[in-house]
Amino acid sequence: MLSFLEGQGCDGMERATFAAGCFWAIEAVFREVDGVVSTRVGYTGGVLEDPTYEKVCTGETGHAEAVEVQYDPTRVSYEQLLLVFWENHDPTALNRQGLDVGTQYRSTIFFHTPEQEMIARSSKDRLQKSGLYKKDIVTEIMPASRFYLAEDYHQQYLKKCGLNRR
């Protein structure tokens, strides 16, 4: 069993955590990636213990809506997961994605290991230097902290609504 901070469990699976706006959409994207074993959405990066959706939406908890991804590193690499992350949101938008506005919708990579931190920083630097974006990338890279599972109705929300394949 993985602890909430460790990147690898005894079963060989690894963990990655990303915030990229509303967690419904980014969770659905990661669930489609070959090698992703499971996903769950929740709140992380803030100060309030046991946050709820209503409290996180106030913008006063410091938490971001995030997806925690458990993956098989023999089938998909952390670098490949980062590509999925970068390609599926606007990393230049500060505290917003589309119509969703607030610090809970910020772009953040929460690293679980020093290796993940190094890979994430390198990936962000390469993307910034690529010229793909005219504005600076504002994505935060910070240590993973306690991940609080979101309410059940948020889990695989788009699947429950029939809005994606799996």
Catalytic residues: 22
Residues 6+ apart with CB under 8 A from 19: 26, 44, 45, 64, 65, 66, 67, 105, 106, 107, 108, 110
Number of other CB atoms surrounding residue 16 within 10 Å:
27
Question: Is the CA virtual torsion 143, 46, 90, 85 positive or negative?
Answer: positive
